[in-house]
């Protein structure tokens, strides 16, 4: 693969597999294997929503304090996001099939451990292990998809379906969680066990035993400093709103994050075997793609929560009605992921730009129309469905950019980097948008003119939405930094129609 590292331009070979890249793994039925791969990814996300619905029962039975209860969720998130990149690199070095099966086994056994918890600390520790299992599974799954599908329409379609699993699982989790929580909170974790067992058994015969793509080792120091740095950052972001951004804990957390990430950057510059291959960081389109997927994650996590809060706290809908109102949104996201491969025929930059502009339009519409008595269809459902459609197109396009032309021996690292960017962006976006909404709500309640709680909440959500509009606009402008030549072709071999960036 040739590239101009000064300008970031790539010639036509930059979008094709390198000459030394092995062909796609020979699998008798790649789509059957694909279903096994995405099933475990589906339940890792499903579990998050299901557990959220079970939190009140967990608090009552295990005696969690109000502040301690958040660690049932945060322990999973910290372990998951912190070790994604290490797991992705390990998939390149150790081999993907066996690492995938190990991740499935860890996640399944940890789920059983969660269900068996009789003390609060037992559940939190089990959630950490469960997050580690999920961190192994997700980037390894994405890397295996690139093994069984060569670059082209089938891989784009597979990535689209895999990318949509998050939104579909999140919506299903709300409904499933409500049903299971009425039986016993343990079922929020036990539901994973039979599915994990089926995937583990099926994986032995259906997942290809692709040899390790890289003969290099793993930079242990770099992996640890990055994992701990990401965990420290997410800890501050998650807890900053509750502790206060200027508190000693928050400032200390930011300082620790800066130190750890500085050590990581130094290590990557000096290590013989860096965790992130330097060749990847020389690809401008991959770097821009990760920045874009960071912003898409910030919008996706943050706005999804704003929708839920608005429906229940302002409109007064109960969980069942709010869940029904919410269902068209992940459906629209799924539709977006399915049409994205067709739009990609016009080029990855065009597809990503169209997705972000669609998000911008939907968010702008809702920010203008939001109100206590807004029309639930025209002023709430329509703009959020339009936004969700853009989310589906954006996330598939960004993942394609992040994996397009990446050598096979670095596919795991590239997948882990993209997934880490998405998760960290989601955690930060969620905290920032909620903080903006809370600050504006408190300002209205403490202002000179008396306002109702619903009015103050609506004002806060509106400010957060305007912030989301700005994030979408920044993402759209970011696509201008991609530099595809007119002669380049999209993965399906058709001209992409994109000239060199100005």
Is the confidence at residue 223, as pLDDT, over 70? yes
CA-based R_g, the chain, Å: 22
Pick from 146, 468, 168: nearest CA to 299: 468
Count the Cβ atoms, other than its own, within 10 Å of residue 265.
14
Cα distance between residue 17 and residue 348, in whole Å: 16
Higher pLDDT, 193 or 244: 193
Q: 284: which residues sit within 8 A by CB, 6+ positions away?
A: 7, 8, 9, 481, 482, 483
Q: Which two tokens stand for residue 227?
A: 């994992």
Reported as a single tens digit per residue, the pLDDT across 90-112 is 877 777 888 899 999 999 999 99
* Residue 493 confidence (pLDDT): 43
pLDDT digits (tens, 9 = 90+) for 453-493: 888 999 999 999 999 999 999 999 998 887 755 444 444 44
Cα atoms in the 13 Å half-sphere on the side-chain side of 222: 21
User: What is the rounded CA–CA span in Å between residue 99 and residue 477?
Assistant: 38
Residue (of 450, 491, 394, 483) closest to 24 by Cα position? 491
CA angle at 350 for the pair 344 and 355, rounded to the nearest 5°: 85
Tell how far CA 199 is from the center of its chain. 22
> Which pLDDT does position 109 carry in this prediction?
96
| The predicted structure's pLDDT at residue 104 | 94
| Nearest of 27, 401, 29 to residue 210 by alpha carbon | 27
**Predicted pLDDT of residue 22:** 44
Q: From CA 280, how far away is CA 264, in angstroms rounded?
A: 16
pLDDT band at 276 (very low <50, low <70, confident <90, very high): confident
C-alpha 151/C-alpha 404 separation (Å) is 8
Q: pLDDT > 70: what percent of the chain? A: 83
Mean per-residue pLDDT of the chain? 79
Choose among 67, 419, 84: nearest CA to 226.
84
Under the banding of pLDDT at 50, 70 and 90, the label for residue 8 is very low
* Token couple for 311: 């429906």
Predicted pLDDT of residue 488:
43
* Residue 178: per-residue pLDDT: 64
Who wins on pLDDT, 140 or 85? 140
Cβ(455)–Cβ(372) under 8 Å?
Answer: yes
pLDDT of residue 105: 95
Task: Tell me what pLDDT residue 405 has.
Answer: 74
> What is the end-to-end Cα distance of the chain in Å, rounded?
23
Q: How confident is the model at residue 16 (pLDDT cuts 50, 70, 90)?
A: very low
Quick one: average pLDDT of 418-439?
82
Question: Distance between CA 49 and CA 327 in Å, rounded?
Answer: 14
Say whether pLDDT at 301 is over 60: yes
How far is Cα 418 from Cα 391, in angstroms, rounded to an integer?
A: 16
Question: Phi and psi at residue 450, in whole multiples of 5°?
Answer: -70, 135
Q: What is the pLDDT of residue 474?
A: 95
Cα dihedral sign, 413-415-417-419: negative
């Amino acid at each position: 693969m040739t590239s101009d590292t000064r300008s970031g331009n790539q010639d036509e070979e930059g979008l094709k597999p390198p000459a030394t890249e092995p062909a796609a793994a020979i699998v008798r039925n790649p789509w059957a294997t694909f279903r096994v791969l995405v099933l475990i990814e589906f339940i890792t996300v499903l579990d998050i929503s299901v557990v959220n619905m079970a939190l009140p029962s967990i608090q009552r039975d295990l005696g969690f304090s109000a502040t301690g209860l958040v660690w049932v969720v945060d322990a999973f998130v910290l372990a998951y996001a912190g070790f994604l990149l290490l797991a992705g690199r390990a998939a390149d070095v150790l081999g993907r099939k066996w690492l995938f099966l190990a991740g499935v086994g860890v996640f399944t056994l940890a789920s059983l451990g969660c269900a068996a918890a009789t003390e609060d600390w037992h559940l939190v520790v089990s959630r950490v292990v469960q997050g580690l299992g999920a961190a192994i599974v997700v980037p390894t799954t994405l890397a295996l998809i690139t093994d069984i599908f060569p670059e082209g329409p089938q891989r784009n379609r597979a990535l689209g379906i895999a990318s949509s699993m998050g939104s579909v699982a999140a919506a299903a989790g709300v409904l499933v969680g409500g049903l299971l929580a009425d039986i016993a909170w343990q079922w929020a974790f036990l539901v994973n066990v039979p599915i994990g067992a089926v995937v583990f058994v099926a994986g032995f015969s259906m997942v290809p035993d692709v040899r390790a793509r890289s003969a290099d080792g793993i930079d242990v120091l770099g992996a640890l400093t990055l994992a701990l740095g990401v965990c420290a950052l997410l800890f501050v972001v998650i807890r900053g709103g509750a502790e206060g951004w200027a508190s000693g804990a928050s400032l200390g957390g930011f300082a620790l994050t800066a130190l750890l990430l500085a050590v990581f950057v130094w290590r990557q510059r000096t290590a013989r075997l860096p965790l992130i291959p330097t060749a990847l960081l020389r690809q401008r389109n991959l770097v821009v793609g990760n920045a874009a997927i960071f912003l898409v994650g910030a919008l996706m996590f943050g706005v999804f929560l704003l929708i839920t809060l608005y429906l229940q706290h302002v409109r007064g809908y109960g969980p069942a009605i709010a869940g029904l109102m919410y269902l068209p949104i992940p459906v629209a996201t799924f539709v977006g992921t399915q049409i994205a491969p067709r739009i990609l025929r016009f080029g990855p930059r065009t597809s990503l730009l169209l997705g972000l502009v669609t998000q911008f339009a939907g968010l702008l519409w809702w920010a203008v129309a939001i109100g206590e008595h807004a029309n639930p269809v025209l002023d709430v459902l329509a703009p959020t469905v339009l936004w969700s459609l853009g989310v589906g197109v954006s996330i598939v396009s960004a993942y394609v950019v992040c994996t397009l032309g990446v050598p096979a021996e670095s596919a795991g690292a590239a997948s882990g980097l993209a997934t880490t960017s998405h998760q960290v962006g989601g955690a930060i976006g969620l905290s920032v948008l909620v903080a903006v909404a809370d600050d504006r709500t408190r300002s209205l309640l403490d202002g000179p003119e008396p306002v109702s709680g619903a009015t103050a909440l609506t004002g806060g959500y509106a400010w957060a939405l305007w912030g989301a509009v700005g994030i979408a606009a920044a993402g759209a402008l970011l696509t201008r930094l991609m530099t595809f030549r007119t002669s380049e072709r999209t993965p399906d071999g058709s001209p992409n129609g994109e000239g060199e960036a100005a």
